[in-house]
Amino acid sequence: MTEPTLDLASYLRERRQAVDDALDAALPAVGDDDPGQLKEAMRYAVLQGGKRMRPMVTIAACEAAGGAVADALPPSCALEMIHAYSLVHDDLPAMDNDLERRGLPTVHVKFGEANAILVGDALLTHAFTVLTAAGGLPPARAAAAVARLAHHAGIFGMVGGQALDIVHGQDIRELQLLERVHALKTGALYASAGAMGAIAGGADEAGVRRLERWGLCFGIAFQHADDILDDDQVALRPQALARVDALFAECEELAGPYGGAAAGLRALAGWVRDRAHAAAAGDKAD
List Cβ neighbours of 220 (8 Å cut-off, separation of 6 or more): 179, 182, 183, 186, 187, 243, 247
pLDDT given at position 4? 53
Are 15 and 55 in contact by the 8 Å Cβ rule? The answer is: yes
- DSSP annotation of 27 reads S
**Residue 94 burial by CB count (10 A; 0-12/13-18/19+): exposed, middle or buried?**
exposed
Are 191 and 212 in contact by the 8 Å Cβ rule? The answer is: yes
pLDDT given at position 225? 94
- The single-letter code of the amino acid at 136 is G
**Residue 106 Rama label (left phi>0; alpha psi -120 to 50; beta):** beta
pLDDT given at position 271? 97
Integer Cα distance of 183 and 144 in angstroms: 21
Integer Cα distance of 109 and 87 in angstroms: 13
Going residue by residue through the chain (286 aa), what tens digit of pLDDT does each one get? Answer: 345 578 999 999 999 999 999 999 999 999 878 888 999 999 999 998 889 999 999 999 999 999 999 999 999 999 999 999 999 999 999 999 999 998 899 999 999 999 999 999 999 999 999 999 999 999 999 999 999 999 999 999 999 999 999 998 777 889 999 999 999 999 999 999 999 999 999 999 999 999 999 999 999 999 999 999 988 888 888 999 999 999 999 999 999 999 999 999 999 999 999 999 999 888 777 6
Integer Cα distance of 166 and 149 in angstroms: 23
Integer Cα distance of 89 and 100 in angstroms: 13
Are 267 and 61 in contact by the 8 Å Cβ rule? The answer is: no
Integer Cα distance of 276 and 285 in angstroms: 11
Integer Cα distance of 82 and 169 in angstroms: 23
Closest Cα to residue 51, out of 25, 24, 88, 76?
A: 76
What Å distances lie between residue 138 and 15, 130, 199, 208, CA to CA?
22, 13, 10, 16
Closest Cα to residue 200, out of 248, 143, 275?
A: 143
pLDDT given at position 3? 52
pTM over 0.85: yes
Closest Cα to residue 190, out of 245, 131, 272, 263?
A: 272
- Cα angle 279, 280, 283; round to 5: 35
pLDDT given at position 113? 96
Structural domains of the chain ordered from first start: 8-280 (1.10.600.10)
How close are the terminal C-alpha atoms of the chain, in Å? 34
List Cβ neighbours of 133 (8 Å cut-off, separation of 6 or more): 74
pLDDT given at position 143? 97
